[in-house]
Structure 1
Amino acid sequence: MQKRKQPLDLEEILRKKKAEAEAAAKPRFIPKAERERLAAEKKRKEEEEKVRKVADTRPANNKWQAADGNRSRPAVPTGPKAMRQTNTYENGDYDSRNGRNDRNDRNDRSDRGKGGKGKTGEKRPAAEDAEAALIRARYMGPEMNQSTFSAKKKRQRTTEKKFNFEWDPEEDTSQAFEAIYGNRAEPTFFGRGTLAGFDDSMREENLRKYAQSLRERDPEHGEERARQLLEMAQRAKERANRNGLGYHWSEKKLEEMRERDWRIFKEDYGIATKGGQIPNPMRNWQESGLPRRLLETVSAVGYDEPTPIQRAAIPIALQARDLIGVAVTGSGKTAAFLLPLLVYISELPTLTEITKNDGPYALILAPTRELVQQIETEARKFADRLGFTVVSLVGGHALEEQAFALRNGAEIIVATPGRLVDCIERRLVVLSQCCYIIMDEADRMIDMGFEESVNKILDALPVTNEKPDTEEAENAQLMSRHLGGKDRYRQTMMYTATMPPAVEKIAKKYLRRPAIVTIGNVGEAVDTVEQRVEFIAGEDRRKKRLQEILSSGDFAPPIIVFVNIKRNCDAVAREIKHMGFSAVTLHGSKTQEQREQALASVRSGATDVLVATDLAGRGIDVPDVSLVVNFNMSSSIESYTHRIGRTGRAGKSGVAITFLGNEDSDVLYDLRQMLSKSSISRVPEELRRHEAAQQKSNRGNRKIEN
């Protein structure tokens, strides 16, 4: 029985269609042979379609028509196209469908199948390459932003001849045809056309050459013109010499100095002054205006040439002007204020049994005991020859002993602020006739907390002889006259290395129209000290490095080693003794007698190394210190400046070596700036690149023990 056909189920049809679509959507692996066949078939169809379109778009008169109605031979066309297709008709092999030459067409197809070159010489891609390109585009997307750079074109561009701006020797058209052009004359500068920097001998030589050339070129009047030229030059030279313009200030007499010479003189010594009616600095001791007896003492002490601060400050102080001297440490400030002080006292009456109880004529304040004793020693070199008495008042000595020293009176008292206040309160000292006050290291006194004591001392001075705060305070004649009897106007001088606000406050309150003298750049180390820094972490490594430095033999004693903490002084000193060197310590826990013995042993040469805290950083003068070692970096750049100022003093050279660690990051920026400003020091690469040295730290200074 024949089976009855069932109608098609729509759901089944949709399900099959969906399955076929899913199967077609899934990637199917195609063998290489199949891929090549499909690519070749697709390429053939594209070519046939292209040929068909070209044949359909040709004009009717260009189609091949047989004369007998058959399509075996085409009709001969006319016009320009017949001319272009002449070779085609001469060839005897045609395609009756599209009019192409079968032989050429077969050759083209065979070349394309082999991946060869066509008629145009361009390389055709092989079927495998085309298929690989299709697969790559399908899975990886089309290639975008293809470079059109052609190496062949680039090579062609670079090989092109460029324009050359240089002349070839054969192209030079300036060849000399006469002998006169063959010898080039040397340039000469005659008269006012001299070169800058020529000395007198060079100018005179040029004038002689010019005069000789006048004689040679002008036989008739050349001799007369040359004589007049030389005479005029001689008169100009004599006139310049009379005006003081022809030679250096060091070769001139004092009366020949002009404003320009004084400006050059100040620049040579780094002197800057501010204030009205300031006298010119002194060039040597003979022009200082000091009395003959004092000059003999200066020569006997060994002061051959005055230092810059002495050149500028002494003439101002001799005019009874108030003075603020700002100078780097080790610049000779002690003699700068001692010599005018002795001149001032020499003009006052000698102390008698009655007047000796009215107090001293002059008072010198200093922040530390060592600095006070150092000033006392220096002052006695001059005062003893003039018959004056100098007494020091410092802590660490019994008050009875100091009162006994004052029993016969003293023209000059050198004291620390704290001990002087004690003596004033105990009525051991009065200041009723003190008219000359000097504050040395004023900024250090304020840092050590003596601001209140300084104000008490200055308030205890007599007020009847204060200078007026007017322009009269700048008049030397008015300030030098006696007010009646022995009284004169009070003269106040302040010497400091920096000018903090507290020091400026005292200066404005007690000084009247002061002259301000600044030597060099404030806060910078002197140029005679070579600064070296080394990054060394750990006490043991630093001690080992210190031993290498001391044992090298490059530095002669005395040597100063600075630490930050008192207990480290004794520990470092013991290590130095184990290294085979003698050492003493100096810090705030030592008694005054121990301090004096330590300094005396170093100054006498009995001890090689002094280990100290910042107590020895200010005002302590140990002669001929060749090396300063900062075993611990100081907490501030100011303290560092004063530490390294213990060497390179009095015009001598010195070396300062500083050990650095991570704990010193607060001062690395300032240290880098100071090293970069020094002409004989260099900034090591490790410090230059250190993170903390790139910008200034805003942290406060660490507390350091003295």
Structure 2
Amino acid sequence: MSDNQSAPSTAPTVRFEDFGLAPEILRALSDQGYVHPTPIQAEAIPVVLQGRDVMGAAQTGTGKTAGFSLPIIQRLLAHANASASPARHPVRALILTPTRELADQVADNVKAYAQHTPLRSTVVFGGMDMKPQTVILKGGVEIVIATPGRLLDHVEQKNINLGQVQMLVMDEADRMLDMGFLPDLQRIINLLPKQRQNLMFSATFSPEIKKLAGSFLRNPVTIEVARSNATNENVTQIIYKVEEEAKRDAVSHLIRERNLKQVIVFSNTKIGASRLARHLVAEGVKASAIHGDKSQSERMQALEQFKVGGVEVLVATDVAARGLDIAELPCVINFDLPYNAEDYVHRIGRTGRAGATGDALSLCSEKDARLLADIEKLTKQKLTPVELTGFVPRSGRDRGSDRGAERGGRRERDRDDGRGSRNSHGAQGAHNTHSGHSYTPGARGAYAAPRKQPLDPFFTQPYVPSSETAGETKLAENKSSIKPQKQKVAALLGGKR
């Protein structure tokens, strides 16, 4: 295979045992029912085993994690030992991911593949107590999966030494380099040995990202098993034309009409995700939100509940768009089209994984036209919005009237509570009840014009100073004209004799 060229497709008859993997690794793969590698695995594993730098591009959900973790475990087996000394278990492989959820998922895969070997692995990410992570790190581990920020925290606390790292992996490398991680990555790379193997894997590689990656990789082999930035052919993409104000009702309609019991709904903002989740709960849907403002324990609990069926709809920001592997996820919904077109590829890649089929439904309003055009340009696909059949949204006027009536009623009740608390006799004011709301007789509407009060003629007369006021003014003027006498100072202190 020549450098910087796409790898040819591999025949499906290739088996994992053809790569010369150790019996312990093949046993772990057999335990999980894996026999044939995916195209990205078949192309990447032999190259990584040779010690070459790799830039791997493949559609999300095609098994990139095994493409780099299996050869890493194979190469580290030469250093595996059962010694209890931490010095015999230095960090030899470092895997960096952009999100906590992806780091946790990669760690689970690495642990499963290395379960029959003496190799140790762990995961460190923010949002969790550092003490348990510190205990494991100081006990010695060969493979560390981490998010950049928390890894640097442990470096500053001297809980980890990166001086013996032989392999560096950047999973979802485009996001790592493009979304503000570059300064942290540069700090981490400066702590690593100069001689090491570098691996970058992602579903999308823009020309700018390739240029940045060139500064980290040494004569890399580029492996692309599918067209760059391509979407999964197993995913059916549908764009629905919906007004912005009707999107929440449209999501409820899609969930009911399609009888969806497991779906991820993507929102661009954390506030929008929380509001949509509350709206769905009010509609009788078991929904939960996951975003950056949630604690790590809350996010992991929501994901676990979603995987086991306790939560039917997971409303998420792009924190869940990268790398999450949920078996047989039938559908994803884009409540908002992503600002970054590449995120669209990752979002819809949550469904249709491992050869399964899935649906990707997106809601598009007039203001989303530019975002849709960016997606079409990136994926080289024409996505024509269609009408959402059977959906009759409430008009914006009705919703505005409802909100105005609700605000007016709330202000009315607040004013009634203050006005009816006491009357001229100090007794509790009388209240009547109508339609479940209390009100005070004679109370006025929230937007009623103020009552006109009788005008006192005193305030319309010109100002005429009284005699007392004039006398006080004259006395004040006389006082101001009297010059204060200077205080006499003794001669010894500089005064005159």
What letter corresponds to residue 118 of structure 2 in structure 1? G
Aligned equivalent of 2:137? 406
Tell me if structure 1 keeps the 8 A contact 2:178–2:209.
Answer: no
Tell me if structure 2 keeps the 8 A contact 1:358–1:432.
Answer: no
**Aligned-pair distance for 1:281?**
5.2
The structure 1 residue matched to 2:109, chosen from 374, 378, 384, is 378
Tell me if structure 2 keeps the 8 A contact 1:534–1:658.
Answer: yes
Give me the TM-score of the superposition, normalised by structure 1: 0.52
The structure 2 residue matched to 1:591, chosen from 292, 295, 308, is 295
| Within-5 A mapping of 1:342-353 | 342-350=73-81, 352=83
Equivalent-residue separation in structure 2 for 1:543 and 1:684 (angstroms): 18
The structure 1 residue matched to 2:221, chosen from 501, 515, 518, is 515
Aligned equivalent of 1:662? 366
Equivalent-residue separation in structure 1 for 2:304 and 2:139 (angstroms): 28
Distance 1:580 1:360, change over 3 A: same
Aligned equivalent of 1:322? 53
Tell me if structure 2 keeps the 8 A contact 1:581–1:608.
Answer: yes
Give me the TM-score of the superposition, normalised by structure 2: 0.73
The structure 1 residue matched to 2:69, chosen from 332, 338, 344, is 338
Tell me if structure 1 keeps the 8 A contact 2:330–2:352.
Answer: yes
Aligned equivalent of 1:634? 338
| Within-5 A mapping of 1:134-283 | 274-275=3-4, 283=14
| Within-5 A mapping of 1:476-491 | 490-491=196-197
Tell me if structure 2 keeps the 8 A contact 1:558–1:624.
Answer: no
Tell me if structure 2 keeps the 8 A contact 1:273–1:518.
Answer: no
Equivalent-residue separation in structure 1 for 2:8 and 2:316 (angstroms): 41
Sequence identity (%) = 35
**Aligned-pair distance for 1:362?**
0.8
What letter corresponds to residue 103 of structure 2 in structure 1? V
Tell me if structure 1 keeps the 8 A contact 2:237–2:361.
Answer: yes
**Aligned-pair distance for 1:288?**
2.2
Aligned equivalent of 2:317? 613
Aligned equivalent of 1:8? none
**Aligned-pair distance for 1:645?**
0.9
Tell me if structure 1 keeps the 8 A contact 2:85–2:140.
Answer: no
| Within-5 A mapping of 1:390-429 | 390-429=121-160
The structure 1 residue matched to 2:248, chosen from 528, 543, 559, is 543
SS where residue 139 of structure 2 aligns? coil
Equivalent-residue separation in structure 2 for 1:436 and 1:428 (angstroms): 19
Equivalent-residue separation in structure 2 for 1:675 and 1:281 (angstroms): 24
Tell me if structure 2 keeps the 8 A contact 1:291–1:343.
Answer: yes
Equivalent-residue separation in structure 2 for 1:416 and 1:386 (angstroms): 25
Distance 1:625 1:338, change over 3 A: same
Aligned equivalent of 2:233? 527
Equivalent-residue separation in structure 1 for 2:217 and 2:84 (angstroms): 32
What letter corresponds to residue 532 of structure 1 in structure 2? I
Unaligned runs of 5+ in 1: 1-271, 467-489, 687-706
Equivalent-residue separation in structure 2 for 1:358 and 1:388 (angstroms): 8
Rg: which structure is higher? 1
Aligned equivalent of 1:497? 203
Tell me if structure 2 keeps the 8 A contact 1:351–1:409.
Answer: no
Aligned equivalent of 1:299? 30
**Aligned-pair distance for 1:684?**
4.4
Aligned equivalent of 2:408? none
**Aligned-pair distance for 1:361?**
1.4
Tell me if structure 2 keeps the 8 A contact 1:394–1:416.
Answer: yes
Tell me if structure 2 keeps the 8 A contact 1:322–1:511.
Answer: yes
**Aligned-pair distance for 1:280?**
9.2
Distance 1:515 1:660, change over 3 A: same
**Aligned-pair distance for 1:321?**
1.2
Distance 1:668 1:504, change over 3 A: closer
Q: Deviations over 1:550-604 (max 9, x none)?
A: 112454x320011112112122112212232211111110011111111111112
Aligned equivalent of 1:290? 21
Equivalent-residue separation in structure 1 for 2:211 and 2:385 (angstroms): 39
Distance 1:319 1:659, change over 3 A: same
Unaligned runs of 5+ in 2: 388-497
Equivalent-residue separation in structure 1 for 2:4 and 2:42 (angstroms): 17
Equivalent-residue separation in structure 2 for 1:684 and 1:524 (angstroms): 20
Equivalent-residue separation in structure 2 for 1:639 and 1:576 (angstroms): 24
Does residue 1:671 correspond to 2:367, yes or no?
Answer: no
Distance 1:429 1:575, change over 3 A: same
Equivalent-residue separation in structure 2 for 1:389 and 1:675 (angstroms): 40
SS where residue 406 of structure 1 aligns? helix
Distance 1:276 1:638, change over 3 A: closer
The structure 2 residue matched to 1:435, chosen from 166, 173, 187, is 166
**Aligned-pair distance for 1:304?**
3.6
Distance 1:642 1:658, change over 3 A: same
**Aligned-pair distance for 1:273?**
6.7
Equivalent-residue separation in structure 1 for 2:363 and 2:77 (angstroms): 50
Aligned equivalent of 2:305? 601
The structure 1 residue matched to 2:262, chosen from 532, 546, 558, is 558
Equivalent-residue separation in structure 1 for 2:7 and 2:202 (angstroms): 19
Aligned equivalent of 1:683? 384
- CA RMSD in angstroms, aligned pairs only: 2.5
The number of equivalent residue pairs is: 386
Distance 1:542 1:275, change over 3 A: closer
Tell me if structure 2 keeps the 8 A contact 1:537–1:661.
Answer: yes
Tell me if structure 1 keeps the 8 A contact 2:266–2:318.
Answer: yes
Aligned equivalent of 2:406? none
SS where residue 240 of structure 2 aligns? strand
Distance 1:330 1:349, change over 3 A: closer
Equivalent-residue separation in structure 2 for 1:358 and 1:607 (angstroms): 40
| Within-5 A mapping of 1:89-128 | none
Does residue 1:623 correspond to 2:354, yes or no?
Answer: no
Distance 1:653 1:404, change over 3 A: same
What letter corresponds to residue 33 of structure 2 in structure 1? G
Aligned equivalent of 2:351? 647
**Aligned-pair distance for 1:302?**
2.2
Tell me if structure 2 keeps the 8 A contact 1:531–1:675.
Answer: no
Q: Deviations over 1:468-488 (max 9, x none)?
A: xxxxxxxxxxxxxxxxxxxxx
SS where residue 652 of structure 1 aligns? coil
